[in-house]
Structure 1
Amino acid sequence: MATLSIRPLSAQLQEAAIKELHEVPERLAADIEALRTWIQQQPHLRARDDDQFLVSFLRGCKFSLEKAKSKIDRFYALRTKYPEFFTIKDADDQKVRELLNTGMIVYLPTPLNEHGSRIALIRSGVYSAEKYTIEEIARTMYGIQEISMLEDDYAVVNGITTIVDVKQGTAAHLMQMSPSSLKKMTIFSEEALPFRPKNTHFIYIPSGFETFFNILKPMLSKKQQKRLSLHGNKLDGIYEHIPLKYLPKEYGGENGSIEECIVELNKKLDEYRDYFKANAQYGTNEKLRPGKPIDFDHLCGVQGSFRKLEVD
């Protein structure tokens, strides 16, 4: 069998992959080949099948071949159905670059506790709700996550711990998140991405946010609901979960600065210019799917909006 074209894991990550993800290094090539063979046999599916892409899904699914198949299928089916939410085809997309430069989402350079999960910082309200649509915001976030999926072994093996700073969020930002949009993003995050979300911590919560939060929560899986924490309008409540030193400089920590992270993300987009351009050739053709086609209305459909929500 050909030599695998994947990054070797560090000693700590390899140990975690074996213990927590059931990875068997001696069987890795065979597992990847089994997944690749399945992809090639699917008449409806045009998917990437390089080693690094496939091993991300295997690790994200704890080496359950059936779960990895399902996630790859959903990954491309949802991107084909809703490209405006989930697919970047141009790394130089002006709106994507502008949103990236607001620092609305960054991945901090040092993992939690040095060798743990990757820390993501999402900042609501740092962009104009009038200028950018929820589709543009989602597309930018998922484009960055796609790069992480291919490059960040800490995120793939140990998962992602997320901090959501809603200090600058306004009623206009909250109302962008219609139930339908949220449902699509929740389904994509849970059923299509090969990441294991650890915990999500909301900080600097403005008045009115908890009402909104209580509407959102039931749309998430029970497992995700248990991983959400609200920390009021202060920062110190998060320290028992994420010590101060692992926060960025702007929050009093030592884990890089948001500006530095933005520079790195722009470099990554530059490097992935050809990659994103090639995304146009991948997807699903539901007419060729064996068995029943996906019922997208049932899967992602939620009617209504938050227009009537009152936020102080």
Structure 2
Amino acid sequence: MPQIRPLPASLQRTAIEELNEVPERLDADIAALRTWIEQQPHLRARRDDQFLVAFLRGCKFSLEKAKSKLERYYTLRTQFPDFYTIRDVDSERIHELLRLGVGLRLPRPLHDDGPRLIYVRPGCYAPDSFSFEEIMSVSHALSALSLEFDDYAIVHGWLLILDFSGYTPAHLMQMTPSALQKMSVFAEDAMPVRDKGRHMINTNAAFEVGFNMMRSILPAKQQGRISVHGSNLESLYPHIPQRYLPTHLGGEQGTIEELKQLMWATFQEQREYLRSEADYGVDDKLRPAGQRYDYNSIFGVDGSFRRLNFD
């Protein structure tokens, strides 16, 4: 038997019906992915059953797709560690960022057994104090915890609510084309979690400028997942009923302070797991010839535009 958490009945049903999971074959599927990892001289990846089944479920049990995502997941994290990882989990600066609560995981998934809801506040930090790269390093580190510990995110994906209250031109100036491309490529090519949509609320003029820039970079598939509601939350409710929002938006998911405390508690509980992330990555010097990934040629330099294309 694989060493993984048993899924609640509703999630197990979805895994079978939508993700092509065959419980009787789970051991063999995990073993096949682990064997492939062991045969890659350059790849230092986690090999525990729970981590590997996250990639298999996120790739609908396509072994080849799971291999590709694992490869790119660790390649990107190794090539751009300041954007995708927390280098020092004991850093007071990182702790200060965590306590700000830029990205907050809501306790109840949509409809109680659907996608994980993530409430993001892009305007809640001081852009003269923190870089966008620092914001994203914390965001990606917390996302990595979902792969190991959040079955709702793995089976159903996640649904983002981005609240642009307090968003300023100074925040926008940090949002370079290169940063947007790094976010887009990682979400599409590396993370085995389905993006079920992004709902923008309380948008303003600074957001409009940034959104127009973002649309020029993102592929059509990702653009189609974005909905802009402005300050009209009534248009949000058909997608996310009000009770699934935080308290200050009229919902039942807790106050901002409660959500920040919950996230801090999660970080404290999983600090050693995040510390161990430094043990994993790729060594390009050991990578077989013809298998190199040159992401610098995709991302370019900050301030340049290159359109991304995905299948």
What TM-score results when the alignment is normalised by the length of structure 2? 0.94
1:300 matched residue in structure 2: 299
State the Cα distance separating 1:165 from its structure 2 match.
0.6
Distance 2:66 2:43 in 1: 14
Q: Which residue of 2 aligns with 1:309?
A: none
Q: Is the 8 A contact 1:91 1:270 kept in 2?
A: no
- Hey, what does 1:96 align to over in structure 2? 94
Q: Secondary structure at the match of 1:264?
A: helix
| Equivalent-residue separation in structure 1 for 2:101 and 2:304 (angstroms) | 27
Q: 1:45, CA displacement in angstroms? A: 0.6
8 Å CA contact retained: 2:84, 2:136 = yes
Using the TM superposition, give the Cα deviation of residue 305 of structure 1 relative to its aligned residue in structure 2, in angstroms: 6.3
* CA distance in 2: counterparts of 1:218 and 1:149, whole angstroms: 30
Question: Quick one: distance in 2 between partners of 1:66 and 1:214?
Answer: 35
Q: Is the 8 A contact 2:106 2:119 kept in 1?
A: yes
How many residues matched? 304
Task: Give the equivalent residue in structure 2 for 1:283.
Answer: 281
Contact 1:89 1:276 in 2 (8 A): no
Question: CA 1:178 to 1:261, structure 2 compared with 1: closer, same or farther past 3 Å?
Answer: same
Cα distance between partner residues in 2 of 1:250 and 1:100: 20
Counterpart secondary structure, 1:12: helix
Structure 2 letter corresponding to 1:98: E
- Report how far residue 264 of structure 1 moved: 1.9
Deviation at 1:13, TM superposition (A): 0.2
Asked if the contact 1:120/1:161 (under 8 Å) is kept, the reply is yes
Q: 1:18 aligns with which of 16, 19, 26?
A: 16
Within 5 A, what are the aligned runs for 1:164-179? 164-179=162-177
> Is the CA contact (8 Å cut-off) linking 2:172 and 2:206 kept in structure 1?
no
Structure 1 residue 262: Cα displacement: 1.5
Q: Deviation digits for residues 41-86 of structure 1, max 9, x if unmatched? A: 0011111110111011111111111111111111111111100011
Paired residues for 1:75-94 under 5 Å? 75-94=73-92
What is the distance in 2 between the residues matched to 1:80 and 1:305?
Answer: 23
Question: Would you say the 8 A contact 1:175–1:305 is kept in 2?
Answer: no
Output aligned runs, 1:71-150, within 5 Å. Answer: 71-150=69-148
Structure 2 residue matching 1:120: 3-state secondary structure: strand
Structure 1 runs not aligned, ≥5 long? 307-312
- Checking the alignment, whether the CA contact within 8 Å between 2:81 and 2:87 is kept in structure 1 is no
* Match in the other structure for 1:255: 253
Question: In the TM superposition, what are the counterparts of 1:212-227 in structure 2 within 5 Å?
Answer: 212-227=210-225
How much does 1:220 deviate? 2.0
Gap change, CA 1:44 and 1:256, over 3 Å in 2: same
**Higher mean C-alpha displacement, 242-251 vs 284-293:** 284-293
Residues 270 and 208 of structure 1: CA distance in aligned 2, closer, same or farther (over 3 Å):
closer
RMSD: 1.5
**CA deviation after TM superposition for structure 1 residue 303, in Å:** 4.7
**2:35 alignment partner, SS class:** helix
CA contact (8 A) 2:105 2:259 kept: yes
Q: Deviations over 1:225-261 (max 9, x none)?
A: 1110111233222111111001010111112222222
231-240 or 3-12, which deviates more: 231-240
Describe how 1:30-49 pairs up with structure 2 within 5 A.
30-49=28-47
Q: Which amino acid aligns with 1:230?
A: V
Could you tell me which residue of structure 2 aligns to residue 310 of structure 1? none
Question: Partner letter of residue 22 of structure 1?
Answer: N
Instruction: Report the 3-state secondary structure (helix = DSSP H, G, I; strand = E; otherwise coil) of the residue aligned with 2:227.
Output: strand
Q: Which runs of 5+ in 2 are unaligned?
A: 306-311
- Identity value in percent: 51
Q: Which SS does the other structure have where 2:128 is aligned?
A: coil
Distance 2:103 2:76 in 1: 22
Deviations 1:249-284 (A, max 9, x none): 011111222222221221221122222222222111
8 Å contact kept, 1:90–1:273: no
Q: Residue 302 of structure 1: CA displacement?
A: 5.2
Aligned partners of 1:218 and 1:13: how far apart in 2? 36
1:269 paired residue number: 267
Q: Distance in 1 between matches of 2:216 and 2:23?
A: 39
**Secondary structure class of the residue paired with 1:154:** helix
Aligned partners of 2:179 and 2:302 also within 8 Å: no
- Three-state SS of the structure 2 residue aligned to 1:113 is helix
